[in-house]
Amino acid sequence: MQPHLIQTEADLQNACDRFKNADTIGIDTEFVRERTFFPLPALIQVADAEGVVLIDVTALKDLSPLAKVLAVKSPLKVMHAFSEDLEVLAIAAGCEPDAVFDTQLAGAFTGYGFSLGYRSLVDAMLGIFLDKGETRSDWLKRPLSAAQLSYAALDAEYLLPMYENLDTELETLARRAWLEEEEKHVRRARERDKRPELAYLKVKDRLRLDPEDHVLLRALAEWREREAMGRDLPRRHVLVDSVLVDIARSRPQSVDAVRSLEGISHRAASRYADTILSCLAAAGESTVTEADTPVDLRPYAGTMRRLKRMVNEEASRLQMPPELIANRRALESLLTATLKNNDNSVPAEFLGWRSEIITGALLNCIHESVH
């Protein structure tokens, strides 16, 4: 049976009236984000005890009935890898859902594996194989095919069965509070990622720059972020990371010097050369900050190995993926904070549930290694 496709305000209102009476609903989204900075919502799939409905975002001007369901704590919203879906829902419905249960994170906390995709978790938990045939569909094209509708519905159909199993396992393991903390951490990280002044953190190879050049990169990355957002373009369609790093390192002084940079197109140079030069001039008057002075961690390779071994041992004891406890980047951030004599600013990911199981031991290991 084909899932119900909602394309009228009346049908949406009826469905949302139904959702309000549910204890839990499953939510997924389909969108396109190939040539834009922001995702273009196409479908919102909602599952409850009566089945799955597909909300056609392209056919509806007013999603306020759905927003009223999303904005309250009940029903609980079950989602998989919810971070990107939060952004889609915020654009489509004007608000992010409250009270979310992320099956991907829950699966990691209960030992199914780290960062498993929806289909992999369905297979691991329920023994059901789902086809990936419509993964790269054009979800904005109308009419949607029967195969697309079926694929989209399946993306939400098994959220509630997985939730029931995972919630029971979390309760048995006493890790439900851990999941809730981690979901809050994901939300905080999303808010941080949206700040243009912190866009430099996403730039590859930035730590290879001298501190004075890194000051310029921070300014260039913020400008690119605002330009990409304002024009709704992917960052790479403005300038790719390697060009930003090259500009910060070479410090071009003229339009011709910008044009001669490797990797910058004639169109981009023509459009942005004057802006780039102005950005460099303004940033050149800024002072080097702690953010521009990376710590050389190469002398601490042995410490990193010991930290990683501690994480692996704790993960084995708890039967959790080690990456969930701390990946290499997180361990590097903890080591860096300690080396900067900044123990009072332990990275946020090492607070909460991680502090219960490993943060203190990791800090002790670092202190023993470096003092």
pLDDT single digits (tens) 196-239: 999 999 999 998 999 999 999 999 999 999 999 999 999 999 99
Q: What is the pLDDT of residues 23-70, one digit of tens each?
A: 999 999 999 999 999 999 999 999 999 999 999 999 999 999 999 999
Q: Do the Cβ atoms of 175 and 110 come closer than 8 Å?
A: yes
Q: Do the Cβ atoms of 140 and 32 come closer than 8 Å?
A: yes
Residue 274 has a CB neighbour count (10 Å cut-off) of: 11
Residue 150 neighbours by CB under 8 Å, 6+ apart: 2, 3
Q: Do the Cβ atoms of 118 and 102 come closer than 8 Å?
A: no
pTM of the model: 0.93
Q: What is the pLDDT of residues 246-299, one digit of tens each?
A: 999 999 999 999 999 999 999 999 999 999 999 999 999 889 998 898 888 999
What separation in angstroms does the CA of 58 have from each of 26, 34, 53, 295?
21, 17, 15, 49
Q: Is the dihedral of CA 6, 11, 14, 20 positive or negative?
A: positive
| Domains detected in the chain | 4-193 (3.30.420.10), 196-292 (1.10.150.80), 298-370 (1.10.150.80)
